[in-house]
């Protein structure tokens, strides 16, 4: 059988962890899917999938082969696209990921415009408040906030954000404006983080930080919830500057203790290293970079 065909079938089964689901996804009969995977395993001389009556799981060799196969198929698709001409209109599916609030506020407007400009492209947008592995999860483009570890991914810096302390004017008028991080111990704290009885907030330069440990009155796992509580006058919250840009502009929140802020966090667009530049990825990155670099909340 054709090696590329076998790889495509295996990727579908490996990602779906189901022969039946893979069959529906790639429009092949279940029997044809089973034969293709068996032929690939025979050719390689190794078991890629562990089968039971109830489920299908990748073996250790299968997990490694799935990662390698995804990269190979992506390179083939990009090479074909490059051969067809760099000016070819973008087409196919583009997968994009970002954090929930950033994605909704900054990335989605760009996606909508991109889809209007290129009618042959479909976009799958994954807005998640966790780090998505581009290679393992098959993403084309990601937006990341913060310093990046070394990797094979290409990174394009498009802006920066700060961690800021904010409170409503009404709260500050009633309770006073903190002048030093230690003053926060006398204030109502709103923590946007995982559930924990205490939070540690670090201030100032990396080489000489000030650490303050507090017990929040309200701990919420949603940034939206923390913003709502702060604007209502409950207390002081620590958030990223872009998350409260609209509330700051409207005067609903004010920044405090800005002299003690940590260094700004960079914002990058990431995509997978590739010999060829995919037209759909290249056009989207160019559009997204222009959009983000021109946004005042990311300056």
What pLDDT is stored for residue 287 in this prediction?
A: 92
| Contacting residues for 74 by C-beta, under 8 A, at least 6 apart | 272, 274
Q: How many residues does the chain have?
A: 299
Average pLDDT over residues 202-211: 75
Shortest CA distance to 209 belongs to which of 160, 163, 240, 241? Answer: 163
What pLDDT is stored for residue 83 in this prediction?
A: 65
Task: Report the CATH fold assignment for 3-84.
Answer: Arc Repressor Mutant, subunit A (1.10.10)
Interatomic CA distance for residues 102 and 99, integer angstroms: 5
User: Which regions of the chain carry the CATH code 1.10.10.10?
Assistant: 3-84
pTM: 0.64
Percent of the chain past pLDDT 90, that is, above it, reads: 37
Cβ–Cβ < 8 Å for 201, 212: yes
What pLDDT is stored for residue 227 in this prediction?
A: 94
**More reliable by pLDDT, 135 or 40:** 40
Task: Report the CATH fold assignment for 163-260.
Answer: D-Maltodextrin-Binding Protein; domain 2 (3.40.190)
What pLDDT is stored for residue 205 in this prediction?
A: 67
pLDDT digits (tens, 9 = 90+) for 170-189: 999 999 999 999 999 999 99
pLDDT at 21 over 60: yes
Cβ–Cβ < 8 Å for 92, 280: yes
pLDDT at 236 over 90: yes
Q: At what angle do helices 30-44 and 3-16 cross, to 10 degrees?
A: 110
Does an H or E element contain 101, and which? helix 100-102
Cβ–Cβ < 8 Å for 166, 256: yes
pLDDT digits (tens, 9 = 90+) for 85-134: 555 678 888 999 998 889 999 999 999 999 999 998 999 999 988 888 77
What pLDDT is stored for residue 229 in this prediction?
A: 96
Measured between alpha carbons, how far is residue 104 from residues 99, 128, 280 in Å?
8, 10, 21
Question: Which strands sit side by side in the sheet containing 92-98, from one edge to the other?
Answer: 121-127, 92-98, 141-145, 265-271, 154-161
Question: 92-161+265-298: what CATH class?
Answer: alpha beta
pLDDT at 214 over 90: no
User: Which regions of the chain carry the CATH code 3.40.190.290?
Assistant: 163-260
User: Which regions of the chain carry the CATH code 3.40.190.10?
Assistant: 92-161+265-298
């Amino acid at each position: 059988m054709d090696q590329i065909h076998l790889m495509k079938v295996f990727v579908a089964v490996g990602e779906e962890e189901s022969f039946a689901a893979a069959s529906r996804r790639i429009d092949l009969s279940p029997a044809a899917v089973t034969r293709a995977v068996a032929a690939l395993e025979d050719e390689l001389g190794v078991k890629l999938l562990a089968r039971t009556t109830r489920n299908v799981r990748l073996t250790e060799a299968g997990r490694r082969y799935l990662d390698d196969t995804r990269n190979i198929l992506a390179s083939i698709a990009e090479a074909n696209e490059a051969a067809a001409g760099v000016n070819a209109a973008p087409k196919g599916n583009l997968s994009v990921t970002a954090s929930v609030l950033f994605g909704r506020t900054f990335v989605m407007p760009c996606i909508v415009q991109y889809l209007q400009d290129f009618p042959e492209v479909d976009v799958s947008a994954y807005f998640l408040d966790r780090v998505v592995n581009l290679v393992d999860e098959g993403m084309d483009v990601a937006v990341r906030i913060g310093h990046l570890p070394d990797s094979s991914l290409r990174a394009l810096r498009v802006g920066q954000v700060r961690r800021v302390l904010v409170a409503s004017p009404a709260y500050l008028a009633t309770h006073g404006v903190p002048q030093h991080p230690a003053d926060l111990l006398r204030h109502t704290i709103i923590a946007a983080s995982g559930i924990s009885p205490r939070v540690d907030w670090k201030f100032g330069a990396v080489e000489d930080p000030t650490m303050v440990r507090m017990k929040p009155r309200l701990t919420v796992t949603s940034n939206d919830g923390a913003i709502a509580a702060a604007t209502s006058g409950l207390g002081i919250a620590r958030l990223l500057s872009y998350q409260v840009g609209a509330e700051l502009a409207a005067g609903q929140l004010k920044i405090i203790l800005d002299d003690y802020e940590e260094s700004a966090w960079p914002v990058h667009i990431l995509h997978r290293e590739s010999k060829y530049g995919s037209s759909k990825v290249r056009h989207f990155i160019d559009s997204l970079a222009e959009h983000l670099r021109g946004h005042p909340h990311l300056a």
